[in-house]
Structure 1
Amino acid sequence: MVEYRPQSSHWGVFRAAARSGGVDVLPDPHDPEPSALLRNIPAAVRPDARVTVPHVRRRWLERGPGADDARGADEHVPVSWERALDLVAGELDRVRREHGNRAIYGGSYGWASAGRFHHAQSQVHRFLNCVGGYTRSVNTYSLGASPVVLRHVLGDDSAIYSPTTLGVLAEHTELFVCFGGIPLKNAQVSSGGISRHETGGLLRAARSRGARFVLVGPLRDDVEAELGARWLAPVPGTDTALMLALAHVLLDEGLHDEEFLRRYCVGADVFADYVLGRSDGVAKDPAWAERICQVPAAEIAGLAREMARSRALISLSWSLQRAPRGEQPIWAGVALACLLGQIGLPGGGFGHGYGAMGGIGTGVLPYPVPTLPQGANPVPDFIPVARVADMLLHPGEEFDYDGQRLTYPDVRLVYWSGGNPFHHHQDLTRLRRAFARAETVVVHDPFWTATTRHADVVLPATTALERDDIGAARLDPALVAMHRVVEPVGQARDDYRMFTGLAERLGVAAEFTEGRDERAWLEHLYETWRAALDPRHRPEADFARFWRDGRLDLPDRVTEHVVYADFRADPDAHPLGTPSGRIELHSGTVASFGYPDCPGHPVWLPPEDGPEPLHLVANNPATRLHSQLDHGDRSAESKVRGREPVRINPVDAAARGIRDGDVVRLRNARGSCLAGARISDAVRPGVVQLATGAWFDPSAPDVATCVHGNPNVLTTDTGTSRLAQGCTGQLARVELERHTGPVPPVRAHDGDPALG
């Protein structure tokens, strides 16, 4: 009899059973809209693309640590676990003795598993803290600019993960103005797991009640067709100009809420002077915006008036701030909501990230979930996460971040577990140069990704299907007992076992393990969490019962919440965390930093465009999470002749002689890639869309920088501004042409460690 065991993933709760050569996966029957991404999961335990034994790069093994341009092209040779762990422990000890722990960069991105114990980021940080600390990163590639600017404007970034819930919007919102859309493809996933996909149903409920939707963005399907959205398609990267023009109409026609501005905001006069042109002589009216955005002035003015007479929700996607000057559309969106005066009202105000993850806006638990303690990091050095190439290429150089003048540490050892920077980072040619500068790169990974191919020591990690764990997230109402489904593939080990071996060699095993094995840790995390909960929320089930049942439905999830309602009711009793206690439409703090690329209030800063004629939108994929399981069935079936699909408007395709299904080449000054053409009128003319996540494949550099379709060979490795230094990978300028030469094979998934 086949035994299906409970499991959780970032794209859904499911049950899985071992079968000959793989696993069967069944969606959770309680999930109203299970994600098709579950179809990628069986690929996790297939031997293709898996790292099955420890490997060491040949030149590093022969010559020892040091900068080396051969990373990514050199041969990797298999070694025993004992030798691999001895080499890593010896190198960690050498670097910390000779250069200090700030010379160790602990890179991880946290998406490797929904499990809270086998959470790669927590494991690597806990271990490195035990051996003296490490240089860390702050913020994320998804959210680099927003948390920083919102802390200055609103006092914290709680509006990101605890916005007004979608249930409230479904009942009260009359008009959704969706800058960047509410893309349900992104709502398939949620960090830490998702047991119920609810976003689509709640938005459809709003539509059924009579809510109207306006999509502002270059891709028509960033709001699902059932919602009947009116489509405004500005030039990519011009949302701030459009918002300022909407603000101009409200101010010029007296449609703004003067009382709200007076009672709840500071700096409204400075912002108004700028919008109306009193401070710089340029009125940011709809005619001005039309020249920038290519949206008719009459449509802009009409939308502003419609917003003023409606209970309106301004929805700001995460994509808006993943571009140069990404702080500006977020700040301008908040300012626009302030002019309407509906912040703190049910169904009004603004939201940031609806559709960005499945849990955003569906509800939040009023208590924490079990997590692995990471300990304290004694090393003060940090970088914004998207500045890793700068750090490696320019040690000792100063840089600005949020009012601070910091210095890039001289990192000698890069330790990466649970992430793939060759997916997240921009300008991969530059990133390869940066990785070449390190003395040693150690990577834990189940797969031969581009990151493992650029490593000196590769330690094969298990996937969630090969270990026991607990799946949990603050945005989800279920705690899942993640039972091992299959034995580890090859010689793969979980991160905890690897770090235990290293901790034993470095004399910190007792501190790292606290005397517990995997099962003891799971029970400890569960029971410690349960004991610390308020009795109102505490579950009756002990660990044994929880593990036997496979799932615990968590009580008291908050699904009816209006962000800033308390502040609106009494701003004196419930002030914001800003210096004024109010919403800062002009921030004296930010202004004092003197950053030309992020002054003290929202402004339009024209992009520094390249000469290429097309705008590239490099957004999240619909067929996988980031680059995870790119070789899975759901991801593979979307490819065109084995390559990532690029969508092109029919007008642009015809002008270039491109037909649906052609292999095409995208290029600019930074690099080039091959992709498969898909012709679609859902893409604005002058725009091409190529999702991120195709595994970087530089195996035919004479043809293209990447032959698989990774857009990060085209995007720019620059920060959003000196304020946040966030990722700018959403947009680039490119040319696109039909590829007429021989088409090289895609080798990214073939398991060969040396690609080129």
Structure 2
Amino acid sequence: MPSPTTSHWGAYSVRTAADGGIAVQPHPADPAPSPLLGNVPGALRHRTRVARPAVRRGWLEHGPGPSPRRGLDAFVEVGWDEALDLLAAELDRVRTGHGNEAVFGGSYGWASAGRFHHAQSQLHRFLNGFGGYTSSRNSYSLGTSLVLLPHLVGDADAVLRAGSSWPTIVEHTELIVAFGGIPEKNVFVTPGGVTRHGTPGALAELAARGVGVALISPLRADLPPSLDADWFPLVPATDVALMLGLSHTLLAENLHDQDFLDRCTVGADEFAAYLHGRADGVVKDADWAAALCGIDADRIRALARRMAGSRTLVTVTWSLQRIQHGEQPVWAALALAALLGQIGLPGGGFGHGYGSMGDVGDHGPQTRLPYLSQGRNPVGTFIPVARIADMLLNPGTGYTYDGADYTYPDIRLVYWAGGNPFHHHQDLSRLRRAFARPDTVVVHEPYWTSSARHADIVLPTTTTLEREDLGSGRRDTHLIAMHQAVEPVGEARDDYLILADLARRLGFEEQFTEGRTAREWIEHLYTGWATGFRRAGHPVPDFEEFWTAGEYELPAGPSRFTLFEAFRADPEGARLATPSGRIEIASAAVAGFGHADCPGHPVWLEPDEWPGAAAAARYPLHLIANQPATRLHSQLDVGAVSRAAKVAGREAVRLHPDDAAARDVRDGDVVRIFNDRGACLAGAVLTGDVRPGVVQLPTGAWFDPVVDADGGVLCVHGNPNVLTADVPSSHLSQGCTGQHALVELERLAGPPPPVTVTSPPPLLRKDQL
């Protein structure tokens, strides 16, 4: 019998073969199964699986302490009891000598889609029972928007989780102006799982209806080819200039909706004054915008007129806020949509994240799902999630976040479970230096990723298919019984069992486990959820019936809804949670923080790295480091789908033929991409679907560094984060800026160094020391 399960890229079932291999089958209700399922079979028992607990040789021989050898040393395999005894003693030493604030509970990452075996929840529950820890706040994906949007509309989730549904858009929208496009590659992923991928079908319906789309992106692949697109291949990082030029045209030609601005917004006059240049003498009209963004001024004016004459949806992908001054694209797009006056109208208005995640625009049920309580963290210290290197390198240094002042703590122990910072963080040379600072780094990992290789204690964890769980995601249509399909690899254990054994050694096992096994917890979580669901009038089976059936289809919710529809109809009765109760095109609160890099209304601010910057003289190519099409972040990079997309065994970099010819680069060549921060190797793919002067290298290739005598790093596998800058979006949000960087590219002379990250690091036995 096939075993049901789910994942962040879709629900599926597993059949095992006599040789120990597996075959996967998408859920029969899924109209558009994710191609990423093809990574699962080959990755399950790949040679990079961590088979036994391992301790970095230098840490084992010399004890805890800062070390530049992290990422370079061999590892010594030890038994579980020894590993857990060492870790329990180290946790106790740090807590006793430095306090719980000295423990950083990283655990930022996607890991399992299960509701119980959720690595973040497991680790944070453990650390809360241990006495607390320094935590992180927000996400790399949305660190900027999560801070900004409450100032503009009162509630980030109102935009990010309840945007207009695809059926509403398909039925009513006439024109989509898509800043950053609607990249179909991203819609196969949803946190917690998805049973029915609906966005590909919605995009096909838009194409069938002939809905117009203005694609605002340097990459043509940011929109499915089936959609009728008017492509505006603008200069990267100049979206705000284009938005301001469009806004000025609407005002100058009296195409804006003054009644909507008066009823539903504040700050429109201040924004208009900025557009007209009354303070700085610079009029932000279409001609001004054209000089910055590389789009003809007449096309800008024509687009503004078309927007005003159509039911228009203005969308911004999450990628646009992952840059320096990333607040501005979101804010300026909201202001542009407000000028059109269509916010709250079916098919019109503003959206943020269509094409960034599979559940944006989805109309599946919004149902409270079973979850494991993490408890309360007694330690209040936190950092914005993308500031981990700053924290480790600069203990005691102050920083600002959302209008308040904070100080970085002195971290002695980093505990990570279910994530890979050497995938999602920027400037990996700097991150390597930062990871050399703590006394101890602990990682739970199924695979020998770079995060595991930069740890001191590595504990092997099971994958989804090697344990039981419950699975469902935001707006998912089903709750899935995730059956164990195969035996664990080597000595791998689930996070719960590892942490329960640690809690026993540290004296709080009963508090952590509440006397339950993992299976008992799964049944307990389901039963508690089902009881509440039945009270709401829904027929829910008991646990055994659910487990045998393998799934429970959740009751459907409404299919058509519009962002801010109730607010538009009654701005006073449905006031937003902003100081004014309205959409804040200008925010007195943000202005009051006094940040030059994020003033009180949308503005054009030159980033440090864009084609108009001084650094472009040495590094004339603009790198876009976007999400990959062949995996979820760095997960299962050793899987078949991910491997098949490599070029010469490296990540593929896409560049325009003119840029390739100028550098004597041919299709399939191994090239070196570099700037002052580092370098990486990649395989060249020539295409006219990128703007000249732009190169596109997706994130997620497992970091495979060659470190020279001066500490310079060359990633031979193609991880672009050796090139991106570890600087915050602004003093307001401290969000990450990993989407863009200035680089140069050259054809590699001579044979490239081998890729080694697809094999384990050197592993020793204790008798070999």
**Contact kept? 1:47, 1:489, Cα under 8 Å:** no
Partner of 2:633: 626
Q: Distance in 1 between matches of 2:221 and 2:280?
A: 38
Describe how 1:171-570 pairs up with structure 2 within 5 A: 171-533=171-533, 535-536=535-536, 538-570=538-570
Partner of 1:717: 726
Q: Which moved more, 1:569-578 or 1:698-707?
A: 698-707
- Kindly tell me: are residues 221 and 516 of structure 1, through their superposed partners in 2, closer, same or farther at Cα, counting changes over 3 Å? same
Q: Distance in 1 between matches of 2:558 and 2:527?
A: 23
- Kindly tell me: are residues 753 and 239 of structure 1, through their superposed partners in 2, closer, same or farther at Cα, counting changes over 3 Å? farther
1:741 to 719, 743, 750: 750
- Kindly tell me: are residues 71 and 110 of structure 1, through their superposed partners in 2, closer, same or farther at Cα, counting changes over 3 Å? closer
- Report the CA distance between 1:108 and its aligned residue: 1.2
- Report the CA distance between 1:537 and its aligned residue: 5.4
**SS of the counterpart of 1:741?**
coil
Give CA-to-partner distance per residue, 1:368-410, whole Å, 9 cap, x none. Answer: 1111110001111010100000000000000011101100011
- Report the CA distance between 1:608 and its aligned residue: 1.2
Where do 5+ consecutive residues of structure 1 fail to align? none
**Contact kept? 2:147, 2:732, Cα under 8 Å:** yes
Q: Distance in 1 between matches of 2:307 and 2:699?
A: 34
- Report the CA distance between 1:75 and its aligned residue: 1.2
**SS of the counterpart of 1:533?**
helix
**SS of the counterpart of 1:684?**
coil
Partner of 1:613: 620
**SS of the counterpart of 2:167?**
helix
Q: Distance in 2 between matches of 1:152 and 1:73?
A: 45
Partner of 2:682: 675
Q: Distance in 2 between matches of 1:43 and 1:558?
A: 39
- Report the CA distance between 1:557 and its aligned residue: 2.7
Partner of 1:122: 121
1:661 to 668, 673, 691: 668
Q: Distance in 2 between matches of 1:100 and 1:357?
A: 39
- Kindly tell me: are residues 31 and 421 of structure 1, through their superposed partners in 2, closer, same or farther at Cα, counting changes over 3 Å? same
Partner of 1:108: 107
1:648 to 642, 655, 658: 655
Partner of 2:759: 750
Matched, 1:15 2:24: no
Q: Distance in 1 between matches of 2:633 and 2:475?
A: 20
Q: Distance in 2 between matches of 1:637 and 1:41?
A: 14
Q: Distance in 2 between matches of 1:149 and 1:374?
A: 27
- Report the CA distance between 1:752 and its aligned residue: 1.8
Give CA-to-partner distance per residue, 1:727-755, whole Å, 9 cap, x none. Answer: 10000000000001221110111112589
Give CA-to-partner distance per residue, 1:619-669, whole Å, 9 cap, x none. Answer: 000000000000000000000010000001011011111100000000000
**Contact kept? 2:211, 2:228, Cα under 8 Å:** no
Q: Which amino acid aligns with 1:232?
A: F
TM-score where L is the length of structure 1: 0.98
**Contact kept? 1:443, 1:459, Cα under 8 Å:** yes
Matched, 1:684 2:691: yes
**SS of the counterpart of 2:11?**
strand
Partner of 2:572: 572
- Report the CA distance between 1:363 and its aligned residue: 1.7
Q: Distance in 2 between matches of 1:173 and 1:634?
A: 35
1:728 to 730, 737, 740: 737
2:715 to 677, 699, 706: 706
**Contact kept? 1:360, 1:475, Cα under 8 Å:** no
Give CA-to-partner distance per residue, 1:515-563, whole Å, 9 cap, x none. Answer: 1101110111011111223634533211111100001110033321111
Give CA-to-partner distance per residue, 1:66-105, whole Å, 9 cap, x none. Answer: 0000000011100000010011111111111111111000
Q: Which moved more, 1:284-293 or 1:36-45?
A: 36-45
Q: Which amino acid aligns with 1:732?
A: A
Q: Distance in 2 between matches of 1:754 and 1:285?
A: 62
Q: Which amino acid aligns with 1:664?
A: V
**Contact kept? 1:164, 1:361, Cα under 8 Å:** yes
Partner of 2:767: none
Q: Which moved more, 1:657-666 or 1:194-203?
A: 194-203
Give CA-to-partner distance per residue, 1:151-206, whole Å, 9 cap, x none. Answer: 10000102012100111000000000000010010001111001111101112212
Q: Which moved more, 1:30-39 or 1:526-535?
A: 526-535
Q: Distance in 2 between matches of 1:724 and 1:537?
A: 42
**Contact kept? 2:324, 2:730, Cα under 8 Å:** yes
Q: Distance in 2 between matches of 1:476 and 1:76?
A: 41
**Contact kept? 1:32, 1:196, Cα under 8 Å:** yes
Q: Which moved more, 1:310-319 or 1:19-28?
A: 19-28
- Kindly tell me: are residues 530 and 17 of structure 1, through their superposed partners in 2, closer, same or farther at Cα, counting changes over 3 Å? same
**SS of the counterpart of 2:350?**
strand
**Contact kept? 2:77, 2:763, Cα under 8 Å:** no
**SS of the counterpart of 1:339?**
helix
**SS of the counterpart of 1:737?**
strand
- Kindly tell me: are residues 128 and 387 of structure 1, through their superposed partners in 2, closer, same or farther at Cα, counting changes over 3 Å? same
- Report the CA distance between 1:47 and its aligned residue: 3.9
Q: Distance in 1 between matches of 2:486 and 2:33?
A: 23
Q: Distance in 1 between matches of 2:363 and 2:146?
A: 20
Partner of 2:142: 143
**Contact kept? 1:448, 1:753, Cα under 8 Å:** no
Q: Distance in 2 between matches of 1:505 and 1:530?
A: 34
**Contact kept? 1:460, 1:492, Cα under 8 Å:** yes
Give CA-to-partner distance per residue, 1:29-50, whole Å, 9 cap, x none. Answer: 2111111110101133214100
Q: Distance in 2 between matches of 1:548 and 1:607?
A: 56
- Report the CA distance between 1:22 and its aligned residue: 2.3
**Contact kept? 1:252, 1:276, Cα under 8 Å:** no
Q: Distance in 2 between matches of 1:321 and 1:554?
A: 34
Q: Distance in 1 between matches of 2:684 and 2:149?
A: 39
Matched, 1:93 2:92: yes
Q: Distance in 2 between matches of 1:674 and 1:221?
A: 23
Q: Which moved more, 1:560-569 or 1:624-633?
A: 560-569
**Contact kept? 1:537, 1:555, Cα under 8 Å:** no
**SS of the counterpart of 1:30?**
coil
Partner of 1:75: 74
Describe how 1:583-594 pairs up with structure 2 within 5 A: 583-594=583-594
Q: Distance in 1 between matches of 2:303 and 2:278?
A: 24
Q: Which amino acid aligns with 2:435?
A: F
Q: Which moved more, 1:513-522 or 1:22-31?
A: 22-31
Q: Which moved more, 1:66-75 or 1:532-541?
A: 532-541
**Contact kept? 2:713, 2:722, Cα under 8 Å:** no
Q: Which moved more, 1:718-727 or 1:272-281?
A: 272-281
- Kindly tell me: are residues 377 and 340 of structure 1, through their superposed partners in 2, closer, same or farther at Cα, counting changes over 3 Å? same
Give CA-to-partner distance per residue, 1:691-720, whole Å, 9 cap, x none. Answer: 000000014658961000000000000000
- Report the CA distance between 1:306 and its aligned residue: 0.3
**Contact kept? 2:595, 2:731, Cα under 8 Å:** yes
**SS of the counterpart of 2:436?**
helix
